[in-house]
Structures are given as structure tokens and as C-alpha cells.
Amino acid sequence: MMREKPLREKGAVDKAGRPFPAATETRMPSLPSLASLQALAAWDTPTICNALEITNPERRARGFTRRPVVAAFPQMKPVVAFARTALIRSREPHPRDRDSANKIRLGYYEHIAAEPLPSIAVIQDIDAPDTGFGAFWGEVQTHVHAGLGCAGVITDGSVRDLDAMAPDFLVLAGSVMPSHAHVHLVEYGGTVSVFGMVVSPNDVIHADRHGAVVVPYDAVEKIPAAVDLLTRREKVIIEASKQPGFSVERLRQAFREQEDIH
């Protein structure tokens, strides 16, 4: 069971005696530019997953949400942002005094607002089997997060106040519930697993109504070319299928033509 505590204390070490890196000192080699991230928002998340099969074939079966999600606003365009992470629970009252609770809450908001931006909250609910018992996300949280530069949330927990949420705030959730119960932050800034997608702080996330995927830094600049290649290959099949007299033999020919496109 997860212990109710904030981030590791300064100077903490692992079992081998090695110091844990501070959450505020996450190593971020070659951060993708904002322009390169915005370019990825031109495509939906399934297209990004397809492109990653070309740029990073070893990630074909991992790095994306693997369970159904509730897209609160399915009409929203894709979001590309840097992950900020946290654990929540709501079934039992939190064990902290008021000052301690405020400290972790404000620390979490600093985590959300820290560079690089925009951020996207990725929140794991650890109340299984009662995941989503109480909603952390609603009118207040979406407005606060949006004001701090956060573009949306991906959570296996629940959400509420759908008609009063901040506009243009992406919401992918596990369920919709009416009450916040005893919902509270357990800790923030660590690695979480939401819908089977493992996420660490500052991972690049691409998300839309279909779900989400972690985009490796080294793939960001390569994806547009990969999408172009996939589009040209798929066009051969699609155009063939629209022609009168389309048949298996014509499909076989289209497959051969597709293989010649590089």
C-alpha cells in the first residue's frame, strides 16, 4: 500500500545507497521545442501511434492507454503537453493535519505550473477496487489548472461538473461521479500508471478523444515525416477501394504498389 507522504525527503537514498534524484531536478535531455509539439497537434492520437511504429518500432505495444477512457469533450482537438503526475485517493479521509495538507496541495500546484509548459495532469487513483469513488476533477480544479498553464487531465479516477469545467480543457477519465467524497492528494512528481500507460514527469503526451500516448523526445521531430509516409501508403489502398470493380486482385496489386513507396 502506498504511504501517505509527499515527495522523498532531500538526501534520501535507495537500497543500494544511491541518492534519489530530486523531483525538481528531472533530467530533460534536448527538450522538444514548443513549435515541434504544436505541429503534432495537427494529427489525432491514433495517427501518432502509427507514426511511432515507424520512428520507434520497439514501442509498438507499449506507451499508450490500454483501457477504455471517458472523453468528456470528444469534440476537442488533440493536446500535446508535458506530463505532471500525482496519486490520489478518496475512499478514506486523508491522515494529514491542515497545514500538511495545504503544503502538499500547494507543492502539487507548483509542480503543475513549472516549466516546461504547457503541462497536462496525469493522475492515478489508488483506491482500487473502488477507483473513482470520489472526483478530484470538476469546476474548480479545471479552472485552477488551466490558469496555471495546464492543458488537460488524464485520470483513471472520476470527474464531475462537466457543464462547469474550464473551456478547452481536455478531460480523459475513468468515470463520471457526483461526489468528491474524501478525495485528496497522496503524493506527486513520481511515475504513475493510468489506463496502463506508464508516465513520468515531463514526458511528452499526445492525447485526444481516443486516449493518449507518450511520445519519446527523440521521435518528436521525426513524426511529421513518418505521418507523410503513412499517408501516402494508405492513400494507395483507399483510392483503389473507391474505384468501380474493386476486387481482391486489385487489392493485391495495391499492396504491391504500397510497398514501393518510401
What CATH number is given to the structural domain containing 51?
3.50.30.40
pLDDT above 70 coverage of the chain, percent: 89
Is 97 a member of any domain? yes
Q: Do residue 154 and residue 240 come from a single domain?
A: no
Contact 37, 204 (CB under 8 A): yes
Q: Could you give the angle at which helices 223-241 and 248-259 cross, rounded to 10 degrees?
A: 160
Same domain (yes/no): 85, 197: yes
Give the predicted TM-score (pTM) of the model: 0.86
Residues 119 and 208 in one domain: yes
Specify if 173 maps to a domain. Answer: yes
Are 48 and 174 within one domain?
A: yes
Residue 72 CB partners (closer than 8 Å, separation 6+): 159, 162, 165, 171, 172, 173, 176
Instruction: Give yes or no: residues 138 and 240 share one domain.
Output: no
Where in 52-163 does DSSP place strands (E)? 70-71, 79-89, 119-125, 135-137, 150-155, 158-159
**Is residue 152 within 8 Å of residue 197, measured between CB atoms?**
no
In a domain, 19, yes or no: no
Closest Cα partner for 75 from 205, 209, 167?
209
111 and 159 housed in the same domain? yes
Q: What is the pLDDT of residue 94?
A: 83
Which three three-digit cell numbers place residue 51?
Answer: 507514426
Q: Tens digits of per-residue pLDDT, 141-195?
A: 999 999 999 999 999 999 999 999 999 999 999 999 999 999 999 999 999 999 9
**pLDDT of the residue at 259:** 87
Within this chain, do residues 66 and 150 fall inside the same structural domain, yes or no?
yes
Instruction: Specify whether 122 is located in the same domain as 231.
Output: no
Report if residue 231 sits inside a domain.
Answer: yes
**Is 237 part of a structural domain of the chain?**
yes
How many folded domains does the chain comprise? 2
Residues 150 and 236 in one domain: no
pLDDT at residue 29 in the model: 63
Separation of alpha carbons 162 and 23, rounded Å? 32
Residue spans of beta strands (DSSP E) within 90-199: 119-125, 135-137, 150-155, 158-159, 170-173, 175-176, 184-188, 192-194, 197-199
174 and 57 in a common domain:
yes
User: What sign does the CA torsion over 143, 148, 154, 155 have?
Assistant: negative
Q: Is the dihedral of CA 117, 131, 213, 20 positive or negative?
A: positive
How high is the pLDDT of residue 95? 84
- What is the reported pLDDT for 9? 45
**Please, how many CA atoms are within 13 Å of residue 196, restricted to the half-sphere of its CB?**
10
- 245 shares a domain with 174: no
**Residue found by looking up cell 481482391 in the block:** 248
In a domain, 241, yes or no: yes
pLDDT averaged per 10 residues, the chain (length 262): 41 47 53 94 98 95 96 97 97 87 95 97 96 97 98 98 98 97 96 98 98 97 97 95 95 92 86
- The confidence score (pLDDT) of residue 153 equals 98
pLDDT score recorded for residue 85: 98
- The answer to whether residue 180 is domain-embedded is yes
Q: Which of 199, 216, 233 is the last residue of a domain?
A: 216
Domain that includes residue 244, residue range: 224-259
Q: Which DSSP string corresponds to 218-243? A: HHHTTHHHHHHHHHHHHHHHHHHHTS
Residues 235 and 114 in one domain: no
Edge to edge, the sheet with strand 135-137 lists 135-137, 158-159, 175-176
Condensed to tens digits (0 to 9), the pLDDT of residues 230-246 reads 999 999 999 999 999 99
Q: What is the pLDDT of residue 124?
A: 98
Please check whether residue 100 lies inside any domain of the structure.
yes
